[in-house]
Structure 1
Amino acid sequence: MKKYNTTLTIAGSDSGGGAGIQADLKTFSACGCYGMSVITAITAQNTQGVSDIYPVQISTIDKQLDAVLSDIGADAVKIGMLHSSEVINLVAEKIKEYNIKNLVIDPVMAATSGDKLLQDEAIAALKNELLPLAAIITPNIPEASILLGREIHSQLDLPEVAKQLSFNQNVSVLLKAGHLTEDELVDVFYDAEKEEIIRLPSHRIKTLNTHGTGCTLSSAIAAHLSKGKNLQTAVKQGKEYIDQAIKAGRDYQIGHGHGPVHHFHNWWN
């Protein structure tokens, strides 16, 4: 019998379909994996912003995690919006209980629209309990600033910032440069396994359709890890996938704000 490469997302639901669980499952499928989900919160959300967040009760998140991991398992896990310290602590316990190795964490704190998606008191739990368990974390500039407690202003700062976020060289870091102002973006990947800095340049794509880019990139990395790729290959292929998804989606219009990327650009246009 054939075996699927299984990839699990633990994140919030985006009713607009561009980010969160919906973007993750689209990405897993587009990258050739069997996707599963544990929903941590339901958002009322579209291209213009988040109008409501309804947290899923802890016991239901707990049962979702056990249902998936005890039966199907997961070759890789991607974590996105967790919202509260209570949820973060539960997920950290389950990651350890089921001995998850290929763990990709996108430390989601705000939507593209700027709406807050993580409670302030949960940041300490995220830093202390969950992030140290990751194989790789994928913060953007604002998220890295919050985690470090200081502003980041220059592309030149990124290699040192990535090292500082690596929990004493135990966690690899893909630090995304999209919030800087240069036309030439250089994401910085710190490979903790090899203690190596890799610069990943790309040209800024002029488009409003950037909703869910962080979710999509981290999910693509998780998908490639679940297929047995090493971390450097998974990061490079994940970057290539999101770049092409942004390019393919720039000519579409959905809604009146920040539209999504084109997750299935390799399949239809």
Structure 2
Amino acid sequence: MGRIHPTAIVAKGAVIADDVEIGAYSIIGEHVTIGAGTIIGPHCVIDGHTTIGENNHFYRFCSIGGIPQDKKYAGESTRLEIGDGNTIREYVTINTGTVQDVGVTRVGDDNWIMAYVHIAHDCQVGNHTIIANSVQLAGHIHIGDWAILGGLSAVHQFVRIGAHAMVGGTSSVRQDIPPYVIGTGDPFRPSGINAEGLKRRGFTPASIKCIKDAYRLLYRRQLTVEQALEQIHQLGQDQEQRAAVQLFTTFLAQSNRGIVRP
């Protein structure tokens, strides 16, 4: 076993990689699996049917794998899965899933989850996201890769936030935010695309222009979503541009709550 503080409590059934560090007074439940290189800070509780990958860092006072805050929950064996390389700061809470959804809450790889964040049951968080201090995610929310959520924002249950989107601090998000879109407010209102973020991630100027054109068709031409989709499908001159546009169109076609509006 790795460095486990003598005051930590690790249940007999837990599966802990040899080099895992577990801090003082932390508690690890019997159905928990923790991968190599992961650090559990002091005063953390990790329980439930929880699988944690490699090289994660949980800071002090995290509560991971607790039962869902859902009155329909009746003790079913639902799960939490956390990938690799995540930074999870102080007082973060992440709950397991429910049988009313897929039964598992998931957090991907290389996410930066800041203090006091709550990730409720059945949320599906992608990779490389930044979720700032005190963001509150209700149940069944989907967050795409590279999305950024500003501090003190709250997201309504079943909302989907697309890849590369950026939510300004103290926002209230009640409908789906398409990929690439940036904005803020209560309620959240879109104001453009995350062009700077796309540049940093290697999107070409031509691909960014296609995304801007798609945004204008959706939000600036007074078209219905269906009318906008017909024209957006025609954008893109090469494979990279078409892939960028397809991420946008696929999201719109799958939106159930409706999309945010200016």
| TM-score for the superposition, normalised by structure 1 | 0.27
The higher radius of gyration belongs to 2
**As a proportion of its length, which structure holds more helix?**
1
| TM-score for the superposition, normalised by structure 2 | 0.28
Q: Could you say which structure has the greater relative contact order, defined with CA pairs below 8 angstroms and 6 or more residues apart?
A: 1
